[in-house]
Chain A
Amino acid sequence: MSAINGQSTNGSTATPKTPRTGGEVVCDAMLAAGVDVIFGMPGGASLPFYDSLYHYQDRIRHVLIRHEQAAGFAANGYARATGKVGVATSTSGPGATNMVTCMANDIMDSVGVVYITGQVARPAIGSDAFQEADVTGISIPITKHSYLVMDVDDLPRVMSEAFHLASTGRPGPVHVDIPKDVFLETTTETAPDQVNLRGYRPSKVGNARMVRKAAEVINAAERPIIMAGHGIDISGAADELLQLATRGSIPVVSTLHGVGTFPETHPLSFGMLGMHGLAYANFSMRQTDCIIGLGTRFDDRAVGKEDEFGPGAKVVHIDIDPAEIGKVLETDVPIVGDLKLTLQKLLPLIESRDRTPWLDQMNGWRRDHPSLKIPDSPDSVLPQEVVRAIYDISGGEARVIADVGQNQMWASQHFWYERPRMFFSAGGLGPMGYALPAAMGVKLADESQDVWCVTGDGGLLINIQEFNTLAAEGINVKVAVLNNAHLGMIRQWQEFFYEGRYMGAFLDNPDFAKVAQAFGLHGVGTSSRDEMHDAIAMAHEYDGPVVLDLHVDRVENVYPMIVPGTGVNSVIEDPR
């Protein structure tokens, strides 16, 4: 439309530019970025923007969520599933503050979301006007960048910068706060052909000398290990990762967000490491002589105690964010760069080597410490079985969005993710209530994919109002509630570390199947193993959203577990 034309014919002063309202500028910027879904709820300050959305409804789908937090999480899911930018919108004040958790979540997980919030009209700013809140003041420490747009002529540039910043370098949330009257005013300005931000030049290929040094260190290593992080997915470097691992016979472990960046059924895959990582993944970190960290920030939940993490190992760290390098681990070979481009330079320098003794050792741990064995449970269905059943029935082809807590760990462990963007979860911030709205975003990103939301009963309740959105918009998400009648992860910690003094851990749940039915969804509840399998098979076939309230064992724990503050030497494995 006009902006797209405006952008390409930019600079030709001959054609008179069509004036556009602020609201239209935002819509055009979305389309120019290839984004055709927006999640949000209107309000006084954003009504002019909704009037623009009204006129763009043939090109932009607006999804009315039932709480602004769901808008942000849905946009996060959309962004992660597409690799594009997600967009969420709210009104000023309470609408905007409802999205604060989402911004904090995006920045922790490096997810590109543009937040469009309405603000009170310019003359009212600073007067404590109705629904005024200093949301750009609030969002500064939890966004990659933010704007309060005081002049509509700035808006075309701001919007193209916002999409650029959100999606390039290390992606992250960008907040654009737009006063009501700025949405209404018109401008003939267009976005510049190219974003030009002097203070923002993300690096591309890593330093050639360092790349050579990395190859030397890797080639010399007897027991190297690749730690694959979210950066592999963001940079689209899964192929390069596979080549690196297979050429050098280098085993791969992944972080929570790295799950699926390396095919998990590959013999060189040793699963996820960290606090609830697989025992053999963690043991290998004790013995390795070379950690190759790819697009990871060596988060404390992944690393545990630093001195038991690859003691004496050389560290090669490739990441696009220089501030992550050397932040946690002392690094022998620091490389700042885009992973795909940098790995392409590194690959030809990697010698193909036989590392059988090392792989034998790792496979020995895999054999002797089978972290993924599901114990027998005659009297109750175990939550792990539910995840396995979804894996089996979907043929491993479902996109799984996990919530936070025990369910998240089981969903990461008991499903074998073969590709990036198959498993989604809120890792860094860990906000309960993420999964259901995020699953809506993942589904709308590509409706041809099967999408399963695996959530705890506690986390479901945090954004259960989105059952209404599923029903109203017909978003075909399958919800599996691992209903253990507890804030399970809390119960587990109180069992392990507070001698069973349970406080605030028990949940007096409603009948979720009936709740789902009341919302107009297909809801089924069961506590039997056979019915559980049948219900998952039914949901898999059913053409529409389904909620399965699966009553699982109430006191099952997540294993293995590394006690916080300790290292892999004190891993707790399943006693059964």
Chain B
Amino acid sequence: MNGTETHTLVATVADHPGVLTRVASLFRRRGFNIASLAVGHSEEPGYSRMTIAVEGSAEEVKQCEKQLYKLVEVVSVRNLTGAPAVTRELAMIKVRVKATERPGLAEITDIFRGEIVDVSKSSMIVQMTGAQSKIDRFLDVITEYPIEEISRTGVIAIARDDVGPRNGRARG
């Protein structure tokens, strides 16, 4: 019952100034833990989609969803945890490598279906897309290389079509 795990919530929100502050303020105030938050345009002009990875027990996350719903600018919230969904993250990793080490890193990158997007005399930038776990595994494998910088987008998620009925929209 009380097991903490990471849940993926996808919210459609009106594209108003301050809406991010409202969501962030809600999470802070109610003590919900955000693991990552990604925001971008949705398919509908005037609305953005937020993918929020939140850590907590099932009950805590349920309460979190209900509280999100109460924000006037939040149009819908879906919890995609355990539901058929595609989740992806993009990471860019700048690695300090000597010229002689380049082939080794390129090989690992290739195995993980990443891409070398930039090379300089002393470093390479790897771009990696995929499930969060894949990026984590890649980072584990390349620990022998000194990592200079990592930038990750946080996950974004989209439900597959066979997902059940949408969450209710009741709110107070």
Contact = CB atoms under 8 A, between A and B. Distances in A.
B29 A323 contact: no
Contact of A203 (B17, B26, B70, B171): B171
Contacts of A165: 72
B25 A141 contact: yes
Interface in A310-331: 319-324, 326-327
Contacts of A321: 70, 171-172
A306 to B, nearest CB: 14
Interface stretch (A25-33, A192-200, A262-270, A525-533): A192-200
A322 B172 contact: yes
Contacts of B25: 140-141
A319 B18 contact: no
Given A140-B18, A140-B25, A322-B171, A145 B72 contact: yes
B63 A201 contact: no
A199 B75 CA distance: 4
B29 A201 contact: no
A137 interface: yes
Contact of A137 (B21, B69, B71, B73): B21
Contacts of A516: none
Interface residues of A, number: 26
B78 interface: no
Given A199-B72, A202-B172, A203-B170, A323 B18 contact: no
Contacts of B72: 144-145, 165, 197, 199-200
Given A136-B18, A140-B22, A323 B66 contact: yes
A218 to B, nearest CB: 22
Contacts of B22: 140
Which one of B13, B72, B74, B168 has the highest number of Cβ atoms from chain A below 10 Å of its Cβ?
B72
Contacts of B42: none
B33 interface: no
A196 B136 CA distance: 44
B73 A323 contact: no
B25 to A, nearest CB: 5
Interface in A115-169: 136-137, 140-141, 144-145, 148, 165, 169
Contacts of B4: none
A326 B58 CA distance: 13
A140 B71 CA distance: 10
Contacts of B74: 199
A323 B63 contact: yes
B29 A322 contact: no
Interface of A: 136-137, 140-141, 144-145, 148, 165, 169-170, 197-203, 319-324, 326-327, 336
Nearest 9 A/B pairs, CB to CB? A321-B172, A323-B66, A170-B172, A203-B170, A199-B75, A320-B172, A145-B72, A336-B170, A169-B172
Given A199-B75, A323-B67, 9 more contacts: A136-B18, A137-B21, A144-B72, A198-B75, A201-B171, A321-B172, A324-B172, A326-B62, A326-B63
